[in-house]
């Protein structure tokens, strides 16, 4: 089976610093892949290089068999790689539902004029998007808040809205940078449950950066461990847990 996303020997340099150094892996649909590593290991840079915010200084990135390294973020997003950022990006004055629908317009932008002019196909796309948005809001217990301005929600709820907004576009690959940071432990578990469910039921490949090691161990299929820009391990939670180098570099005990 051809992987959804393939990185081959990807490196990123900032002046003298190697933020990523020869990273190679392949990700598949329906998989939850966690990226862990100490601060400054290159986790966010990995997401930035996949989504086009940073250019690789070496190596290749293929999405559905097509090279995407060197493309602009917007073009990569249109191809189906969506991401959230460490610090939000919602419109605080707009309602929850309006925020989610704003995300949808990235997806149906090619037919956006169609929406303005009301072609049947464009109306249909908008109807489907609205139905999906409502279903996702319900799934995250946000249905009752659909008409509230985002600024009235708690931090955790806002984070969920951001993820719903990204998911409403039905992306084949989703990159989540610390999706549970700032959430209470029950909300964290709930968020991980939803992430697993979306991967399992919708076949979305989800990559997430996460610090809470127990969540990563319980909730991911594959773990990638970065340390000083190098991928020092890749494997199932069980494999990574047994890896001596990982224990030394990351968990701080051997
Ligand atoms: N745009 C940038 N310019 C220069 N250095 C950067 C830039 N982005 C990240 N870095 C550096 O690259 C290294 C990896 O950073 P980052 O990917 O943010 O790590 P992590 O997300 O794992 O904490 C760090 O040393 C960081 O300071
Ligand atoms: Mg980071």
User: Which of 17, 18, 54, 85, when mutated, tests ligand 1's pocket best, judged by the most ligand atoms within 8 Å of its CB?
Assistant: 17
For 193, phi then psi, to 5°, come to: -60, -45
Fold of the CATH domain 89-170: Rossmann fold (3.40.50)
CA of 177 to the centre of ligand 2 (A): 7
Q: What is the pLDDT of residue 117?
A: 53
Q: What is the chain's alpha carbon radius of gyration, rounded to the nearest angstrom?
A: 19
Q: Which residues have CB less than 5 Å away from ligand 2 (the ion)?
A: 43-44
Terminal alpha carbon distance of the chain: 37
Sequence-distant (≥ 6) Cβ neighbours of residue 35 within 8 angstroms: 43, 46, 47, 207, 208, 209, 210, 223, 224, 226
249 vs 232: CA distance, rounded Å: 9
For 202, phi then psi, to 5°, come to: -105, -5
CA of 48 to the centre of ligand 1 (A): 10
SS (H, E, C) 192-216: HHHHHHHHHHHCCEEEEECCCHHHH
Confidence band (pLDDT; 50, 70, 90) for 19? very high
CA of 20 to the centre of ligand 1 (A): 9
Nearest alpha carbon, ligand 1 atom 5: 14
What is each CA distance from 1 to 27, 172, 203, in whole angstroms?
Answer: 11, 16, 14
Q: What is the pLDDT of residue 252?
A: 60
Domain 1-80+173-205+212-254 has CATH 3.40.630.10: no
52-68 pLDDT tens trace: 999 999 999 999 999 99
142-153 pLDDT tens trace: 899 999 999 999
In the chain, which ranges are E strands? 5-14, 17-27, 32-36, 58-63, 66-67, 81-83, 173-177, 205-209, 222-227, 230-235
CA of 149 to the centre of ligand 1 (A): 34
Confidence band (pLDDT; 50, 70, 90) for 110? very low
Most confident of 26-35, 99-108, 199-208: 26-35
**Mean per-residue pLDDT for 247-252?**
68
208 vs 210: CA distance, rounded Å: 6
Confidence band (pLDDT; 50, 70, 90) for 105? low
Domains 1-80+173-205+212-254 and 89-170 fall in the same CATH topology: yes
Q: What is the pLDDT of residue 87?
A: 60
Global pTM value: 0.87
What is the position in ligand 1's atom list of the atom closest to the CA of 15? 4
Closest listed ligand to the CA of 46:
1
The region of weakest confidence among 6-15, 109-118, 130-139 is 109-118
Quote the tokens at residue 217. 């161990």
Query: Taking all residues of the chain, what is their mean pLDDT, rounded to a whole number?
Result: 87
Confidence band (pLDDT; 50, 70, 90) for 111? very low
Residues with CB under 6 A from ligand 1: 14, 17, 19, 37, 39-45
Q: Could you state, in order of their start, the residue ranges of all structural domains in the chain?
A: 1-80+173-205+212-254, 89-170
């Amino acid at each position: 089976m051809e992987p959804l996303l393939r990185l081959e020997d990807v490196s990123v340099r900032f002046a003298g610093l190697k933020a990523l150094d020869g990273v190679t892996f392949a990700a598949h649909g329906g998989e939850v892949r966690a990226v862990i590593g100490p601060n400054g290991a290159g986790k966010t840079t990995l997401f930035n290089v996949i989504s086009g915010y940073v250019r690789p200084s070496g190596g290749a990135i293929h999405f559905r068999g097509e090279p995407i390294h060197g493309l602009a973020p917007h073009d990569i997003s249109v191809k189906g790689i969506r991401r959230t950022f460490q610090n939000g990006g919602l419109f605080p004055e707009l309602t929850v539902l309006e925020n989610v629908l704003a995300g949808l317009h990235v997806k149906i932008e090619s037919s956006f004029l169609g929406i303005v002019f009301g072609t049947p196909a464009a109306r249909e796309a908008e109807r489907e998007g609205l139905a999906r948005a409502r279903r996702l809001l319900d799934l995250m217990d946000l249905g009752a808040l659909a008409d509230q301005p985002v600024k009235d929600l708690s931090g955790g709820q806002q984070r969920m809205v951001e993820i719903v907004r990204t998911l409403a576009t039905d992306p084949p690959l989703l990159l989540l940078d610390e999706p549970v940071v700032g959430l209470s432990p029950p909300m964290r578990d709930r968020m991980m449950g939803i992430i697993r469910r979306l991967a399992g039921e919708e076949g979305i490949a989800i990559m997430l950066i996460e610090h809470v090691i127990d969540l990563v161990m319980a909730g991911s299929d594959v773990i990638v461990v970065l340390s000083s820009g190098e991928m020092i391990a890749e494997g199932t939670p069980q494999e990574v847990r047994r890896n001596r180098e990982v224990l030394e570099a990351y968990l701080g005990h051997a």
